[in-house]
Amino acid sequence: MGRGAYGPAGLLALALLTACSAGPVEDHKGVAMAGGAHGVPVGVSPADKTANVPTDQPVVVSAHGGTLKSVRVQGSGKAGPLKGLLSADGSRWRSLGTARPGTSYTVTVVSVDGAGKRNETTSTFSTVKGGKTFDITTITPNKDDTGLTVGVGMPVMIAFDQPVTDRIAVERNLIIRSSKPVEGAWHWFDDQHVDFRPQKYWPAHTKVRVEAKLAGVRGGPGMYGKRDVRVDFRIGREQITKGSTDEHLLVVRRNGKKIRTMPMSAGQGGQWKYYTTSGIHLAMSREPVTIMTSPGIGPGSPGYYRLTVYNTVRISNSGEYVHSAPWSVGSQGHANVSHGCVNISPANAAWFIKNTLIGDPIIITGSPRKLEPTNGWGHWQQNWRQWLKWSSLKAGPTITLP
């Protein structure tokens, strides 16, 4: 199932379970043993009638001197059964995923000894009670905000409705599968936001699946995940746009081949807010019409403006767009005259919005003002070492998606 950063909780190493006495016993690990001369000794952990079991503790069943024919771990109420894996030799079974908090489970085991005699064992346990739940409010990309085909720079961004303090437990249950495996890592921006990006851009035409298996996962003291969530999306062609505030040009390359060169005009400077930020931006939205107002200046004040602008592609949260600017066509390719946006001609803007995917990298160089990693989707502004600094489980390969 991949490395710990992306594998489901509960896949813990199995301890060897041994028993030599007949009848139910309790070993030093708290594993209930049943069976004897007329049945296969079966070990079950958690032991029978154990209470307050952590939701991420796996159920482990082991048969000694025989094989397991079936194991069912059924939760009370709406909890349903726990799925599990049986070893190739039929001697061991362990549960996958997490149990639900405040739930009673019945473990029913059918085993067969060497002579073919069947034996049934049952035991029960109950999980720790949960006081409240946490849930995912948004996963990006998604169908409504970005579309399900996105650019090679697209991060996976998850927002929670409650602060998460047990980051390791949550991150362990956030699984990324991809048709072309990549090295990647999660990164906590704060207790309610965790994002994933590869070490390098996604390969073009990669299928990606996000599985947030958080139902029953501990997010903090007395708080457990409400549900599981899954999102599938696709990486499109590779398109990278590079622009220079010194050369006043935007160059678009698709799959490594130059497909368009567009004269541009960037921020005029003078004041810090009027510089276009340098760095690796991502296309965040495509807006046919955007109302732009002067930052920090109200109506009636010197320098105030309110403009209706067409065919805009947002590249930061500080008001930067690549957009149509018919008023600056004469300066495009020659001088920087904007208030921080990247101005291009109406024809080029119509082409750019049509040919850009959300998540496409748009790289600007030449400005003294650098894009902050938290300004919009500035994820690629951090090098890999900086990105891993805020990952609980560090880097690992994605799981192959068929």
| DSSP line for 48-76 | TTEEEE-TTSPPEEEESSEEEEEEEEEES
**Best CA proximity match to 19, nearest among 62, 78, 79:** 62
Taking the C-alpha atoms of residue 359 and residue 236, their distance in angstroms, rounded to an integer, is: 10
Q: HSE (CB half, 13 Å, CA atoms) of 109?
A: 35
Find the radius of gyration of the CA atoms of the chain. Answer: 28
Cis bond upstream, residue 141 (ω within 30): yes
How many Å apart are CA 399 and CA 402, to the nearest integer?
Answer: 10
**Phi, psi dihedrals of residue 221, rounded to the nearest 5°:** -55, 115
Rounded distance, CA 103 to CA 130, Å?
10
Beta bridge partners of 140: 157
Question: CB–CB of 314/376 below 8 Å?
Answer: yes
Write the CA distances from 155 to 196, 209, 238, integer angstroms: 6, 12, 15
Please confirm, yes or no, whether 20 is among the known catalytic residues: no
Q: What are phi and psi of 349, to 5 degrees?
A: -65, -40
User: Using an 8 Å Cβ cutoff, are 248 and 337 in contact?
Assistant: no
* 149-185 burial: b if 16+ Cβ within 10 Å, else e: bbbbbbbbbbebebebebbebbbbbbbbbbbebbebb
The catalytic residue among 187, 248, 281, 323 is 323
- CA 28-130-50 angle, to 5 degrees, is 20
CA 264 vs. chain centroid, Å, equals 35
Distance CA 153, CA 139 (A): 16
Strand partners, 43: 33, 62
Catalytic residue among 187, 281, 341, 379: 341
Catalytic residues: 323, 341
